[in-house]
Amino acid sequence: METQTKTIFSSQNMGKLLGAAALTFLGAFAVYHLLHDGLLPLAGMISAIVIFLVLILVKKSLTPYRWLAVGLVMAFLFTVFPILYTVFLSFTNMSSGHLVTKPQAVERILAQTYKPDHVPTYSWEAYQNTSGEWLLLVFDQDNKAFDVRPGSDLKPIEVPGDPPAAIDGYKLLDPVQKIQKLQALTEVEFGHGSNLITIQDPMTAAAVVPQYQYDEAQNTMTDKSTGLLYTNKGGTYTSSAGDVLIPGYMVGIGTNNYSRFLGNTGYLAPIGEIIIWNIGFSLFSVLISFAIGMAIAQLFENVPGSRLIRALLIIPYPIPVLVSIMIWRGLLNENMGLVTNLLQHIFGSAPHFFTDISWARFAIILINVYLSYPYFFVLATGALKSVPRDIYEAAEIDGASAWMSFRAITLPMVMRILMPLLIASFSFNFNNFTLIWGFNAGLPAMADTVVPMGHTDLMISFIYRLGFSTASAADYGFSAAITVVLFLLVGLMVFFQVRNAKSLKESR
Amino acid sequence: MVTHNKPLTLVLKYLLALVLIIFAVVPFLWIISTSFNQAKSLLGARLIPEHLTLGNYSELLTSQTLNFSLWMWNSFKISTISVFLIVAITVISSYALSRFRFKGKRAIMLIIMILNVFPGILAMIALYSLMQQIGGYVPWLGLNTHGGLIAIYVSGAMSINVLMVKGYIDTIPIDLDESAMIEGATSWQAFWKIVFPVIRPIVITIAILAFMATYGDFIIANLLLKGNDQITVMVGIFQFTQQRFDTNWGIVTAGTVIAAIPVAVLFFFTQKQILSGIISGAVKE
């Protein structure tokens, strides 16, 4: 019989140790690259994940975590990290022109080349293989031929007469292709290290050298073609004449993003309007949808044909939300929509559901009620079933009317069951981006705002426009700062939600 | 309720039902009828079309500029892969959280509950930036990739599904797995052979709900995917309507009808399961 004690050399332990070693090695490799590129927050997150994985692999008391590892790692990387990273970004100037880190910006600037005077020039022929890689055949002044590819040195090659139709599986471009692909070709650097050749025009290729020299201690760039000095100004290398090098990089700017809107009525007034509408929109959406859902569940329970009525009323539920929004966009279209035409026909005029602020808001709440009442109908049906029947009978004997017993018994009991879901629904609607962006993208626009804002914008669509609108420059740092303020608002709702949750107290 | 309907109450109830049914059904009927309408623009859209045609559908599916069938395929692929991963990760995590005692379990439950109510999409600026950075090292996981989108779907679906499934496993007597383990089964065998077959109903429910959620998602897909042959059908429909809403209304409607069919059919056949899943999740909490 074997003893119970296992030696450290048992095959199982060896496997674990090897696994831990491999993980550590891979993690160190990844973190090294992230640090090299200046991505500090992500490097920190990856380090934490690797340490966690190694620990649960080697420590026996942590074995249960192996069941949770994949889920936890994904949740931390893709859900928790972005929340923390938002806070980080809110203290930086990350925006168009400052999207990369300093090491990345330096690397890209140093990769830029120019053609000094008096360098060797060549005539050229280009070749391309099936996977799209390039090969350049160049002829120097003495008509000696070289084969040069991106990332490898010039290699002399014997070319008697015309350029061959193919070299090593690369096919020669004919004159027409040569012109068609010239643009792409001029962006390719052939050669390796400091021996670089780029294509200058359809006839000539020339040796090129890096254009900028980097002084790490002074954090300056010198343009070798002009001798001009570029110094760092807030993450951009800028010359004394005001010329800048692209790209700039991300730098910490303290609380500038916050003071930009917190002390500024130009921002605060419209943001205040957005927040008030945002709260009103969520509140009315939830209350009306809940009221309708509750009414359906309660009123049509015992009428003849209730099955059919319920089946018809559930129809909006399975239709994808965006599809329903598109349908309503058509129905309410100001010139040609079915609803507007009908109202026009009956009343002689129809509301402007897209250009009038109040009607636009009305339309959005109406659509949201359409989208969400079936959900509350389902929930209310379930909640009603859990109200004991005999209470009603007792109430009826005591002479209570149907309305009274609804007010005194049904509603409070249903509300108690559904309260967490009502709050969850409020918080979901508070950030209902799809509805706003799908219906009218927050329009009509507010007049004279510092950045584009709309009268039906929710905070989240406002933030999205700040970050990703194609019309203006992206400003991630600033929108991150506004997001952080929003975190605090939503965090309040989350707090009430979690504090009331029973399942946490019950968890074994 | 035990009350009887007086005739007047009944009439009022039916009147209310009628109004609500018009509200619920007219948009649905209208979109179907206009998708078969010969008039292509919104101007000609009527509840009862004058000339029926399949032209909108054939134009949509044969168009060289729209990649409609590819968008549908992308949506199916992304949702199906996401659902498999979501189910696998959820079920395994939930079993551990329900059955094992270990340090830090309360903290993990708290994190899961917070994530469940905290709308992670608020952090979209940072999420976008994160995906861009990841894509620099792992190209198939970056911006404009299906891998990246699936990763976000799977991690985002974790919290709600773990809460549902863990709650369900909690109701299964632990004696069941313990007796199996006394007979020499490992925890994995106890989970796979004993518990998993029992929780199959909730697994099917979360799979269907996850499919509906990922298939219908607009916000994350719109954030991540840019290329015309990468986007999902929801992003495709949205982009298409941005460009030619009024004049090509016929094709738009054909697209929305086709896009709605998969989940509508899925819902139709699994209605009972989904609704009772939602109710039991809600009423238990």
DSSP SS3 for A175 = helix
Strand partners, A501: none
* Mean local confidence (pLDDT), B43-48: 65
* Mean local confidence (pLDDT), A146-166: 85
Cis peptide before A64, with omega less than 30 degrees from 0?
no
Does A55 score more than 90 pLDDT? yes
Q: What separation in angstroms does the CA of A464 have from each of A239, A418, B123?
A: 34, 31, 10
E-assigned strands of A354-447? none
E-assigned strands of A193-276? 195-199, 204-210, 212-215, 220-223, 229-233, 236-239
For residue B93, what pLDDT is reported?
95
Of B10, B127, B216, the CB nearest to A82: B127
**DSSP one-letter code for A217:** T
Does A4 score more than 70 pLDDT? no
More confident call, A227 vs A68: A68
Strand partners, A155: A147
Dist CA A367 CA A459 (whole Å): 19
Residue B120, classified by CB atoms within 10 Å of its CB into exposed (0-12), middle (13-18) or buried (19+), is: buried
Does A445 score more than 50 pLDDT? yes
For residue A290, what pLDDT is reported?
95
Interacting residues of A204 by C-beta distance below 8 A, sequence separation 6+: A121, A122, A123, A124
For residue B55, what pLDDT is reported?
82
Of B5, B241, B278, the CB nearest to A303: B5
**Residues B128, A321: C-beta atoms closer than 8 Å:** no
Q: Encode pLDDT of B189-213 as tens digits.
A: 999 988 999 999 899 999 999 999 9
CB-CB neighbours of B99 under 10 Å? 21
Alpha helices in A97-158 (DSSP H): 102-110
Q: A352-363 burial, b for 16+ CB within 10 Å, e for fewer?
A: bbbeeeebbbeb
Residues of chain A contacting residue B10, judged by C-beta atoms under 8 Å apart? 303
**Residues B129, A94: C-beta atoms closer than 8 Å:** yes
Mean pLDDT, all residues of chain A = 87
For residue B215, what pLDDT is reported?
96
Q: B170 to chain A nearest CA, in Å?
A: 9
Dihedrals phi, psi of B5, to nearest 5 degrees: -80, 120
| Structure tokens belonging to residue A440 | 């009218």
pLDDT band for B242, please (50, 70, 90 cuts). Answer: confident
Does A281 score more than 90 pLDDT? yes
| Structure tokens belonging to residue A195 | 């021996």
Q: A142-163 burial, b for 16+ CB within 10 Å, e for fewer?
A: eeebbbbbeeeebeeeebeeee
CB proximity under 8 Å: B 16-35 to A: 16-17, 20-21, 23-28, 30-31, 34
For residue A508, what pLDDT is reported?
39
- Give the number of A-B residue pairs with CB atoms closer than 8 Å: 304
For residue A2, what pLDDT is reported?
45
Interacting residues of B138 by C-beta distance below 8 A, sequence separation 6+: none
Alpha helices in A440-475 (DSSP H): 459-468
Dist CA A276 CA A67 (whole Å): 44
Q: Encode pLDDT of A426-438 as tens digits.
A: 988 999 999 999 9
Q: B89 to chain A nearest CA, in Å?
A: 6
Pairing of strands A204-210, A212-215: unpaired
Dist CA A314 CA A332 (whole Å): 22
Does A128 score more than 80 pLDDT? yes
DSSP SS3 for A79 = helix
Of A314, A382, A503, the CB nearest to B282: A382
Interacting residues of B222 by C-beta distance below 8 A, sequence separation 6+: A437, B234, B235, B238
Q: B106 to chain A nearest CA, in Å?
A: 7
**Residues B280, A382: C-beta atoms closer than 8 Å:** yes
Does A122 score more than 60 pLDDT? yes
For residue A227, what pLDDT is reported?
85
**Residues A82, B130: C-beta atoms closer than 8 Å:** yes
For residue B45, what pLDDT is reported?
62
Sheet holding A236-239, edge to edge: A212-215, A220-223, A229-233, A236-239
Dihedrals phi, psi of A141, to nearest 5 degrees: -55, -35
Interacting residues of A35 by C-beta distance below 8 A, sequence separation 6+: A43
Mean pLDDT, all residues of chain B = 87
For residue A33, what pLDDT is reported?
92
Judge contact between B52 and B34, C-beta under 8 A: no
Dist CA A10 CA A6 (whole Å): 6
Q: Encode pLDDT of B49-80 as tens digits.
A: 667 788 889 888 888 778 899 999 999 999 99
For residue A7, what pLDDT is reported?
56
Dist CA A289 CA B235 (whole Å): 27
Dist CA A142 CA A284 (whole Å): 82
- Report the length, in residues, of chain B: 285
Going B86 to B91 to B94 to B96, the CA torsion angle's sign is negative
Judge contact between B130 and A82, C-beta under 8 A: yes
* Mean local confidence (pLDDT), A132-156: 87
Judge contact between A173 and A136, C-beta under 8 A: no
With a pLDDT cut of 70, the percent of chain B lying above it is 91
Residues of chain B contacting residue A318, judged by C-beta atoms under 8 Å apart? 212, 260, 263-264, 266-268
**CA end-to-end span of chain A:** 39
Dist CA B262 CA B78 (whole Å): 14
Judge contact between A282 and A429, C-beta under 8 A: yes
Please tell me if residue B12 touches chain A, with a CB cutoff of 8 Å: no
Interacting residues of A388 by C-beta distance below 8 A, sequence separation 6+: none
Q: B64 to chain A nearest CA, in Å?
A: 23
pLDDT band for B92, please (50, 70, 90 cuts). Answer: very high
**Residues B237, A326: C-beta atoms closer than 8 Å:** yes
Does A231 score more than 70 pLDDT? yes
Judge contact between B154 and B89, C-beta under 8 A: yes
| Structure tokens belonging to residue B60 | 């949509």
CB-CB neighbours of A328 under 10 Å? 24
Of A82, A420, A421, the CB nearest to B120: A82
Quickly list DSSP for A292-360. HHHHHHHHTSSSTTHHHHHHHHTTTTTS-HHHHHHHHHHHT-TTT-HHHHHHHHHHS----TTTSHHHH
For residue B135, what pLDDT is reported?
92
Residues of chain B contacting residue A464, judged by C-beta atoms under 8 Å apart? 124
Interface TM-score (ipTM) > 0.95? no
Does A204 score more than 90 pLDDT? no
CB-CB neighbours of A434 under 10 Å? 23
Q: A155 to chain B nearest CA, in Å?
A: 31
Interacting residues of A472 by C-beta distance below 8 A, sequence separation 6+: A451, A452
Residues of chain A contacting residue B8, judged by C-beta atoms under 8 Å apart? none
| Structure tokens belonging to residue B81 | 């892969």
Strand partners, A122: A205
Which of left, alpha, beta for B138 (phi over 0: left; psi -120 to 50: alpha)?
beta
Dist CA A491 CA A148 (whole Å): 59
| Structure tokens belonging to residue A88 | 């980080």
Interacting residues of B219 by C-beta distance below 8 A, sequence separation 6+: A433, A434, A437, B121, B124
* Mean local confidence (pLDDT), A240-246: 88
Q: Encode pLDDT of B121-157 as tens digits.
A: 889 999 999 999 999 899 999 899 999 999 999 999 9
**Residues A370, B280: C-beta atoms closer than 8 Å:** no
Dist CA A163 CA A141 (whole Å): 16
| Structure tokens belonging to residue B2 | 């035990």
Q: Encode pLDDT of A334-389 as tens digits.
A: 877 888 888 888 988 888 999 999 999 999 999 999 999 999 999 998 888 888 87
Q: A489-503 burial, b for 16+ CB within 10 Å, e for fewer?
A: ebeebbeebbeebeb
Interacting residues of B207 by C-beta distance below 8 A, sequence separation 6+: B83, B86, B87
For residue A130, what pLDDT is reported?
87
Nearest-CA neighbor of A476 among B132, B139, B114, B239? B132
| Structure tokens belonging to residue A453 | 């804002």
Q: Which residue has the tokens 């909730």?
A: B202
| Structure tokens belonging to residue A37 | 């590129």
Nearest-CA neighbor of B98 among B190, B168, B8? B168
pTM, rounded to two decimals = 0.87
Does A489 score more than 60 pLDDT? yes
**CA end-to-end span of chain B:** 25
Dist CA B40 CA B57 (whole Å): 11
With a pLDDT cut of 90, the percent of chain A lying above it is 36
**Residues A315, B89: C-beta atoms closer than 8 Å:** no
Residues of chain A contacting residue B195, judged by C-beta atoms under 8 Å apart? none
